Chains A and B, each alone.
Chain A
């Protein structure tokens, strides 16, 4: 049972080739063995196909009134694109918490967090591994839906650049909700409260945000309503992707969309800065939460 020759004396860490985060590698391996991933992907794509088919069938009947067929096709292309992107944003906002909320709380529940905490991994590495694992699946979902969005490009009315920007916008929204989910995961000690907290926040952001914006904006303080309304993820996706598309679907925001962009200031940069601060703050707090008290030396 002499393991010394094989194991050798551990050398002090030297400059090594860059390797994948071990948590990410483990999560990816474990995820491929769960049936949930492939089921989620299938349902996600089926829903998007359904939305595209509905938009197509509605607009085909409307499109017959167009005199110029090309213009009608362009309208259908835009409608399909907007329908898919809107649905994707909504679905991603509600899938990401399911992936991230159990990330840390689940480790605590399964009693596997302590071996990681006393290892050479830093809390930042644990958090980034968990976040990357969730995002890897999001990239898979979003990437798999790219051919569907490309249909709208083929039909017309949408540029390839808009398709790419749309996908990137949805990915950024995934990062936002993912970061919030990771923070929620690090707060309670059990998985169930973490999931409830993450979904609660998602519902507040997705549904209550526009309502509050509308109430505040229309009834009392228009400036505050503007800020709350425009911080909504849909507003970001709209502005980042295609300035005159999604925001038209949301009353309080439709009149605002483009207001600032016409002045030459791309408003999505503000979004990015705001989301960046939120994401960084959430991940920093989550890492702080899983730090052991004796980690000041790092």
Chain B
């Protein structure tokens, strides 16, 4: 969460009351994605209902909302897969409804599921997409190698795609979305179904992409998935933007201080209040790695502690608690407010 661009709330619009010319004049030309009055109906169902949003360039923009809120619909429209019922969208200055090919040249899209790619190796898979995206033939292998290095799959090159774990597939899918060096990446729930280690790897990768100057839009229905990597978060509910702010503000609004209760194998118990996620991780690191205490139970308000614990353990290496004790690992309890 470094140096996020301050957000200005886009002017509220209504597709019904504003004509397209007036709507177009409110679009932000500097934004990676600018949306005004976006409406999408599926029959009687209103998936999007006058959504207004500006996504700054070189940001990691998290879109959060419950299932059915309209996240995927919004992303599909930006990715040229759907056309809106009403409203305007500009992706890197292009209209996805009428300039689909131009948008596709500057945008990489990663759907939530990678799909099954029978009998193609990791190397062939990326080479195929390099061909699809018209990369020069003589450079395709070089590009593939560089991307596999980037997503830490270089040693998996000769393996069949379908033999990879879900986390590896997600990283490969991300590499595919990057094959034509898009300025904008649209990632639809990339962390769903991933274990904590794979999430951590994906998070680091996305942060690296931002460092490379790319804009990343990422959706999830779990705020804790986004809060550690996003510079901005927009909350969508009922097809409209319900909240828009920099991530720490959204997280702070939601949780306030985080309360953790830790119970050890010898029965000792402590309640600790930590201010932020970094403090949370530092506490865990101290208990698990430095003190090597056999932790039996974590209880945390707001959730997400199990993931932090797994991350700490993954980084520390061997189990932190003495092997052979009656306890094989901690129990995680989440108290959600």
Contact = CB atoms under 8 A, between A and B. Distances in A.
A29 B134 CA distance: 19
A115 B82 contact: no
B134 A16 contact: yes
Contact-residue size bin, chain B (C-beta under 8 Å from the other chain): 35 or more
B146 interface: yes
Interface in B69-85: 77, 79-83
Contacts of A118: 79-81, 104, 107, 109
Contacts of B100: 292, 294-298
A13 interface: yes
A284 to B, nearest CB: 19
Contacts, number: 118
Contacts of B102: 297
A30 interface: yes
B101 interface: yes
B198 interface: no
Contacts of B83: 293-294
Interface in A1-18: 1-4, 6-10, 13, 16-17
B150 interface: yes
Which one of A19, A114, A116 has the highest number of Cβ atoms from chain B below 10 Å of its Cβ?
Answer: A114
A15 B12 CA distance: 45
Contacts of A117: 81
Interface residues of A, number: 38
Interface stretch (B115-123, B226-234, B314-322): B115-123
Contacts of A292: 80-82, 100
Task: Return the 7 tightest CB-CB contacts between A and B, nearest first.
Answer: A111-B115, A6-B146, A112-B115, A3-B146, A22-B131, A110-B116, A293-B83
18 contacts: A3-B146, A3-B147, A7-B146, A10-B105, A16-B136, A22-B132, A26-B120, A111-B115, A114-B111, A114-B115, A115-B109, A118-B104, A118-B109, A119-B104, A120-B101, A293-B83, A294-B80, A297-B98
Interface of A: 1-4, 6-10, 13, 16-17, 19, 22, 25-26, 29-30, 33-34, 110-112, 114-121, 292-298
Interface of B: 77, 79-83, 96-102, 104-105, 107, 109, 111, 113-120, 124, 128-129, 131-137, 139, 142-143, 145-147, 149-150, 176, 180-181, 208, 212
